[in-house]
Structure 1
């Protein structure tokens, strides 16, 4: 998602790495799953979506925790949290990463109508 926003930012503002790109990326990853029952474009293509642990649809606050708060944690750990999350997804049976634990979510193959 950042690449198209960077191109648009470059065409409009003359720079590709701007507040526009960062804000647009965060809004995409926070708002789209809220309004599109847990899907982003990539997740929709793969047939997976984000849900709460009780299998309800994600809320705005849930996605704030999953994206913003988790990214702050990843920055504070100097990227070690990202590496740990990658191992968690690869090793854990439920495939939940640190951002899933922070937000109380998981990724499922079940479509919204099959709860």
Structure 2
């Protein structure tokens, strides 16, 4: 059964994403500069490493990224199962394609969804079967054990 526990809203999610952007992009840019001797913000190496970070870190770190951990939220599956590569690829890659193809209109719709929906789920959350929560990993286990 699907349960949404302590959903995180727009502003905290935005802050987590902004922190990730700053915390991850500065070291990546520095590493690429040290390796190549130049800084190019459109460097594909930075984009690829950023994508890997966005997909892999939440899988390996109970739904957290560095920015989300700082603000106390994380990505989880609605069904209570472990976050995996499929969900994260849907959430990041497929949603990114949808947002691009709709020229950002779907992104604006997503923002309104996070603001106005009770469960705070965006389009990419719905696609991936995920949501962003304040609940810690042990709280989720307790809730899903009781609900089962």
TM-score, scaled relative to structure 2: 0.73
Residues 1:52 and 2:73 aligned together: no
Partner Cα separation in structure 2 for residue 96 and residue 46 of structure 1: 18
- Bigger RCO of structures 1 and 2 (CA < 8 A, at least 6 apart): 2
Residue 95 (structure 1) aligned with residue 120 (structure 2): yes
Q: Aligned residue for 2:65?
A: 40
Q: CA deviation at 1:109?
A: 1.1
TM-score normalised by the chain length of structure 1: 0.92
Equivalent residue in structure 2 for 1:7, among 30, 34, 54: 30
CA apart distance, 1:114: 1.4
Larger Rg: 2
1:17-36 equivalence runs, <5 A: 17-36=42-61
Q: How many residues align?
A: 115
SS at match of 1:95: coil
**Counterpart Cα distance in 1 of 2:39 and 2:52:** 19
Q: Distance in 1 between matches of 2:135 and 2:71?
A: 12
Unaligned runs of 5+ in 1: none
Aligned equivalents of 1:79, 1:6: Cα separation in 2: 26
Name the CA distance, whole Å, in 2 between partners of 1:9 and 1:63: 25
- In 2, the alpha carbon distance for the partners of 1:42 and 1:7 equals 19
Q: Could you tell me which runs of 5 or more consecutive residues in structure 2 were left unpaired when the two chains were aligned.
A: 1-23, 141-148
**In structure 1, how many angstroms separate the alpha carbons of the residues matched to 2:90 and 2:106?**
15
Q: Give the equivalent residue in structure 2 for 1:113.
A: 138
Shift, 1:46, TM fit? 1.2
Number of the residue aligned with 1:65: 90
Task: Report runs of 4+ in structure 1 exceeding 4 Å deviation.
Answer: none
Alignment root-mean-square deviation, CA: 1.3
